[in-house]
Amino acid sequence: MIRVGIINVTGYAGAELARLLYLHPEAKVTSVSGRSAAGKPLAEVFPHLWPLDLKVSSELDEVDFVFSALPHGASAEALVPLVRKRLPLVDISADFRLSDAAEYQRWYGVTHPAPELLPKAVYGLPELNRSAVREARLVANPGCYPTGALLALAPAVKGGIIEPDIVIDAKSGVSGAGRSLGLSYHYAEANESAVAYAMEGHRHLPEIVQELGRLWPKAEASLRVTFQPHLVPMTRGILTTCYAPVADGRAVTKAGVHALYEDFYKDEPFVRVTAEPPQTKHTWGNNLCLIYPMVDRRAGRLVVVSCIDNLVKGAAGQAIQNMNLMLGFPEAAGLDLPAVYP
């Protein structure tokens, strides 16, 4: 069994990693850290994790593989010595997602603590970068919003069936904000309410543009992307709706778009092209991304809906999917689970 360590198990993503890895056939969590709960039994911090007989420590013990669920900035600092030890690892923070250190500083407001490692990091969206992930030692787990948006748009962008003017409207559950306290996430504030936020620009926008640019057959600079996130009163889930004009001269039909998407994702274990618009409940607790593409013929516009669980395919589940690829395990190991319903 591969010994796995989780840095910052006390966040939502860290706790979800521990839950999902409990039944993994090839890997076992043997060490977890979390500064705010150091010295406490994990089951005292998260009673639902009582089967894991672990104590939260301030630092990891010796392990074979590492997940970091620290916030941006802190994560890169913690991982530098582990990278030097040649430990394979997946970073769930934003620290290694952007290839340009100046762009990282612009959007995250801090100087990157290890810019020399950016060229070594692989962007860990398996559906687009599977071969590179298999060879990587340092994988940057994608953000939750970019996962839903990129999987919704990749076939259309790579297939050249849309103009480079894209609108992404995404709605996320409250857990996407993490466990830190904030007035906007109090029950009385968030319940029975929905709100748009980060209207001047969300930190996940450059990540989306960077990865779409790698698929775009023309210059990345020609891409125009508007990304607008919303907070909605649910615990988990992201519903993303993407809009783009159909490319001039392309006779795009709903049947043709479905065929394009089904062919693009035909061998993917965690992407399903659906016959009806999916609901966030359909991905609650599992690693699936459900996608529904259609064409608004009156407006000449492609419309694509995607659903993921922001804590699984949008974080911990995708991180384990990347680990499986990096270590040569079956890609679906520990992740082949149906959604929780209702």
Residues 236 and 247 in one domain: yes
Taking a C-beta distance cutoff of 8 angstroms, is the pair 156, 162 a contact?
yes
Residues 156 and 52 in one domain: no
The residues annotated with a catalytic role in the active site are 144
Residues 213 and 65 in one domain: no
Q: Domain range holding 72?
A: 2-141+313-327
Query: Which CATH number goes with the domain that contains 158?
Result: 3.30.360.10
Each residue's pLDDT expressed in tens, for the chain with a length of 342 residues: 999 999 999 999 999 999 999 999 999 999 999 988 999 999 999 999 999 999 999 999 999 999 999 999 999 999 999 999 999 999 999 999 999 999 999 999 999 999 999 999 999 999 999 999 999 999 999 999 999 999 999 999 999 999 999 999 999 999 999 888 889 889 999 999 999 999 999 999 999 999 999 998 776 568 899 999 999 999 999 999 999 999 987 778 999 999 999 999 999 999 999 999 999 999 999 999 999 999 999 999 999 999 999 999 999 999 999 999 999 999 999 999 999 998
Residues 268 and 163 in one domain: yes
pTM flag (> 0.95): yes
Residues 49 and 159 in one domain: no
Residues 300 and 320 in one domain: no
Give the Cα separation of 95 and 86 in Å (integer).
Answer: 18
Instruction: Give how many domains the chain has, as a whole number.
Output: 2
Give the Cα separation of 273 and 261 in Å (integer).
Answer: 7
| Strand ranges, E, within 92-158 | 122-123, 138-140
What's the count of helices (H) and strands (E) in the chain, helices before strands?
Answer: 10, 14
Structure tokens at 112: 């990157």
Question: Helix, strand or coil for residue 60?
Answer: coil
Query: Which CATH number goes with the domain that contains 126?
Result: 3.40.50.720
